[in-house]
Structure formats: C-alpha cells, structure tokens
Structure 1
Amino acid sequence: MKLHNKLLAALCASAAIAPAAHAEKFFGSSSISGLYGDQYEIFGGDQEAASVITIENVSAHNWGDSFLFIDRYQVQGDSDSPNDVYGEFAPRLSLGWLTGSELKFGPIKDVLLAATYEYGGGADANNLLTGVGFSWDVPGLQYFDTNFYHVDNDDAFDTPDDWQTTITWGAPFEIGPARFLFDGFIDYSSGVGGAQKAELHVNPQFTLDIGHFSGNPGVMYAGIEYSHWRNKFGTSAIETENAVSALVKFHF
C-alpha cells in the first residue's frame, strides 16, 4: 500500500475508534450558493458564461475538522462545453488530539494529518491527496490554514503524481453597521513538466452579510467571487482565467 493510502487509512481509522464521549464539536455550518459569470476560460482561447450551484458543509471538532463541497457547473449561452459536477471532501485529524499533547508553537495552533478526495469536473478527476496541515493563529482572521499534499492523480489526462499546497482563510470585518466577510483559497500544484504545467488558482470571495440588517446575521450573504487560474486543469492550452462572478449564499 502506498504511503499516502496508509496515511488516509490511519486518519479514518483513528477518527472512527475515537470514543464518542471524547468528541466535542466546536462549529458546524451548511450552505448553498449561486454564482454567475461570463469570463470562464475554456479551450481555444474562448470564454463562456456559466452558473454554478454549490453545496458546502464545514465542521470543526476537538479531533480536527472537515470540509465538503459539490459544484454543479451549468453552461449558459451558445457554448458547446459540457455541464459537469465537481466535488471535494477534505478531512483533517489533529495530531495534538491524537497524541494528547498540545502542539502549539509560535503562531501555529495545531498540526494535522490532512487528506482530500477530488472527483468529477472538467478533468474528470478521481484524485487522492494526503499530507500534513497547519492551523495558524493570525490576528484579524477567523481561521488561516495551510495544507501540503502529495497528489495521487487519476484523471482524464492521465496526469502523473505531483505536489499541492493549499491555503484557506476567513476574515470577517465591519464598516459602520455593515458586516463583511473576505474568505477564499489558494491552490498551487507543482506539475511534472511536459504537458502537465504548474497550476495556480487564487479564489477569494468578498461578501456582505445581508441577513444582519434584518436581525438574522450569518444567514444570507451577497457579493462577488474572483477566480485567477493560471494553467487551468494543468494545461497551458487554456488562457489564464480572470473571472469575476456575482455570488449569493444562504447558510442553514
């Protein structure tokens, strides 16, 4: 069994055998969001319009955290591109909780075993990522996490294995009576040379808490998402994407 499969098996097994009495949930949220943009890059140097419906779930526990999302990408207009579905499931297991030792040092709050399963999308992915994650204490940020993965690629392009770094953050702030959230992720994949290029995807969202004005804070957000995607899907045959999309998100 490959090392990354052993790490994933250890992560899942450790979480499964944990006594329920020792499991404490700190936070949990589900949401559904709608995006619309007309600057999504496709093969041939063209752009297309599309709507994206996303379902998300995030939870944080004393044993670690997990994140799940599913995107439904629906092409609009005259484009011949196919509609598709893409998703990721990303659990992380706290080594501090697992060992019973506090692993805080400097700005690092915890060290975690990290895994992600990617499926579907334009590359028809079936990829397994395993590695190590760090949770950071950064002033002004609700969370700041970094993960470093080995990627076992299994996709439509027969991509060899490579490495990926993922950064996620969330920064709520207020201006007068208005509450805002600036959050997002950065993915960098190393590529392996040849047809598989190093890939950079910077994807922040800037939203206003609409629900706050009606006495229901944290329920409805509206704003924009920006996607800067160099070597999209790991190929230079697609122009660098710089897409701004309208965004509405409901939490439940």
Structure 2
Amino acid sequence: MTHRILIVEDEPSIAELIAINLSHAGYEVEKAMQTDLAIAMMKDRLPSMVILDWMLPGKSGVQFAKELRANERTRGLPILMLTAKSEESDKVMGLDSGADDYVTKPFSPKELIARVKALLRRQTPIDDTGPLTVGPLKLDPSSHRVLAVWPNCEPKPVALGPTEYRLLQFFMANPERVHSRTNLLDKVWGNEVYIEERTVDVHIKRLRAALTPVDCDRFIETIRGSGYRITKTPTET
C-alpha cells in the first residue's frame, strides 16, 4: 500500500520541496495552503499522515493539531509539525498540541523523510503480542482498541493517539519493569531518528491524560531518577 501524505504549508516553495522529496521516496502527496482546505481534502478519505506547518493563515498549526486530536475520526492520525520555532518551550508546545514529532526549519530533506518513515512505522504494532491486560486495562492489537474494564461497570474505550498507543502497548507487554527514557526512545520511537528525551515526558503526560477519564492514569508510575513503568498495583492516592 502506498502511503498518502497531506502537506499543510502556506509557503509554496517549501511545500513543493517537501512534495518532491516525498514523491521520490514513493509516497503519494497532497498539498493544502490552509487548514480549511486540508479539512475539505480529508472529508472523504484520511491521509496516512499530516505534515503540518506551525504558522498558517487563519488558524495556526498548533490549534489545528489540537482539533485533529479532539476529533474521534482523526485522533490517531500521525502529525509531523514543521516550523521555524526551535526553542525547547516551542517544541514542548508543539508536542503538547498533539504532534507526534517536530522538525525545525531549515531542515534536511533526508532527515524529514527519515522522520516520516519512522512515524509511519509507529502505526504498526511493536510486536505480535496478542491481547494484553494490566489491571483494568485491556489492549487488543488486532483491533487496535484499548478498554478500561472495571468490576461491575461497562467497558469504556480509551482514545489514544498513535504514539501513546505504542507507549501503552510496550508498557503493558513489559509490566512492572522500569524503563528509562533512552530505552523507551529505542523501543517505541526506534533509534533511526534522533528525538530528544524530553519528548518522552510529553507523550507520557498525554498518555496519562487519556487514561484519566477512566481512572487509569495512576497505573503509569514515574520512578524518580530512573524512568517510567506500568504497574498492576498502583499506590492509592
């Protein structure tokens, strides 16, 4: 299957540069200069991922990313944020908005393609683990669904973005073990592309936020100075 990538970028020269390199790498490409057009293009068929510029006319890429994550249909859509903002606080803001990765301008086309490939690989389950259960959480890789099943309660679905899903799958396949940020980057993101360790903290925060409505956020524990783990017996708070 050929992946189709939507570029939302208002600078024609940059959009064309990205499109040419993606096409040479074997991807189908569509371009939109603003978010309204992007929404219209996604109405009938979703792309495999979105490359989204931060600064756009009418609506910023950060705001658009938040809207995509809030919509059930587009919640799992991989988003690569592209921007000239390079401060750590800007990167955190971009990731907090819902982006899965972040590339600053000017960028290397080869690095951009590598990050695109890495993001698309994250759509594939980490391992053929089969169904996983930790506490009330149940994850089924075949249906890509996560449920919270508490005694005497109806099962409740947990809505996760692609990176948060992979994080949870990895945690649930390795319960009670403490995983350093470096280990998580290697196992969940892969070591093909450099991603800062701070990125792990942002996605852990997003994973906990997604688990909070079903009272499962406390199962993800921070081990000070070591990393993170999922536990079957969280400390009561």
TM-score (ref. length: structure 2): 0.27
More helix by share: 2
More strand by share: 1
TM-score (ref. length: structure 1): 0.26
